[in-house]
A and B are shown apart, each in its own frame.
Chain A
Amino acid sequence: MAKAYLSRRYHFSASHRLHSEAYSEEKNRAVFGKCNNPHGHGHNYTVQVTLSGTVDPVTGMVCDLGALDAFASEHLLQRFDHMNLNTLECFQELVSSTENLSIEVHRIFERFPAAHLERVHIEETSNNSFDYAGGAVVAAGRI
C-alpha cells in the first residue's frame, strides 16, 4: 500500500500577549519585549497540518479533505479565530507563544480519525514559523 503525505493550510486571526506569572514585570518586559504589551497585539496565523496514510485505491486519497476541513472548522477555527488566545483555557497556565500553540494544535489534530498526524507548522508572521511533530514537551515551556 502506498503511503502518502497530505498538507492543508488554515488561517485564523487572533490576539495574544506573551507574559509569565513566574517572572516579575521587569523580567517579563526584558524577556518578551514588545510582545509583553499589556493590551496585547495580534497576528494572522497560518496553520499547516501534514497528515499521512495509505492512498485509498478507490478514491486515490489519503483522507477526505471535506472531512478534514470540517474537523478543522469545528476544533481549530471556531476555537481560535477572532479570539484573544490568552483568554482560552489552554493558555491559562501556559504562555501563548506560537511554540505552545503548535503543541496545542498538534493535540487537536492527533484526534482526527481518518489519517495520521505527522507535523504541525504554524506561521505567526511572514518571518516567524514554528514546527511541532509530537514527542517530548520541554518542561521549561510550562509556567
Chain B
Amino acid sequence: MIFLTRKAEFSSAHFYWNDQWSQRENERVFGKCANRNGHGHNYTLEVTVLGEVNATSGFVVDLKELKDILEREVVSVYDHRHLNLEVPEFKTAIPTTENIAIAIWKRLEGKIPGAKLYRVRVYEMPDLFADFYGEL
C-alpha cells in the first residue's frame, strides 16, 4: 500500500465566535480571533490517500483527477471566501483549523475513486496545522 499526498491552497477570511456566549466570554476564550470584522489566512490543505499501485499505470490515483476533486469540492468553495458567512458547514460550526479539517474530510469522503481517504491536514499558518483521520 502506498500513501499519496496532494496539496492545495486557499485564502479565506474567518473569525471565532460562539453565539451561546457573551461578547466578553468570546473575547476571553478566542482573543483577537473574536474580532467580528474577521481576519484571514493562506491555508494549505494536504490530502493523503492510501491505495495499491495500479500495475498498469503505476499510480495509486490519477493525480489530475485528485487535483480536480480538491478544486471542485474544497478550493472552489473556500478560496477567497469568508468561511463564517459563505460556507454552509460553518453556519453551525466555528471555523477553527480543527473543524475545517473535519469539514474537508466530509467533503472528500467517498469522492476519490480507487483509493481510501487516509488523512486531511490543514495548515492555517506554516507553524500551525490540524489533522483529521476520520472517526477512529
A positions within 8 Å CB-CB of B? 11, 13-16, 34-35, 37, 39-44, 81-84, 87, 125-126
Query: Which residues of A sit under 8 angstroms from B9, Cβ to Cβ?
Result: 125-126
Closest to B78 in A: A41
Which residue, of A15, A16, A35, A81, has the highest number of chain B Cβ atoms within 10 A? A15
Query: Which residues of A sit under 8 angstroms from B41, Cβ to Cβ?
Result: 13, 42-44
A15–B42 touching, CB < 8 Å: no
A14–B40 touching, CB < 8 Å: yes
Q: List 26 A-B contacts (CB under 8 A).
A: A11-B125, A14-B39, A14-B40, A15-B38, A15-B39, A15-B40, A34-B79, A37-B82, A39-B13, A39-B81, A40-B13, A41-B11, A41-B12, A41-B82, A42-B13, A42-B14, A42-B38, A42-B39, A44-B41, A82-B32, A83-B35, A83-B37, A83-B39, A84-B37, A125-B9, A125-B11
Range of interface residues on chain B?
20 to 34
Cα A126 to Cα B126 in complex, Å, equals 11
B40–A40 touching, CB < 8 Å: yes
Cα A44 to Cα B82 in complex, Å, equals 15
B82–A39 touching, CB < 8 Å: yes
CB < 8 Å A-B pair total: 76
A126–B42 touching, CB < 8 Å: yes
Rounded to whole Å, the gap between the CB of A108 and the closest CB of chain B is 19
Query: Which residues of B sit under 8 angstroms from A83, Cβ to Cβ?
Result: 35, 37, 39
A39–B86 touching, CB < 8 Å: yes
Rounded to whole Å, the gap between the CB of A30 and the closest CB of chain B is 15
Cα A126 to Cα B7 in complex, Å, equals 13
A42–B40 touching, CB < 8 Å: yes
Cα A82 to Cα B82 in complex, Å, equals 14
Rounded to whole Å, the gap between the CB of A101 and the closest CB of chain B is 13
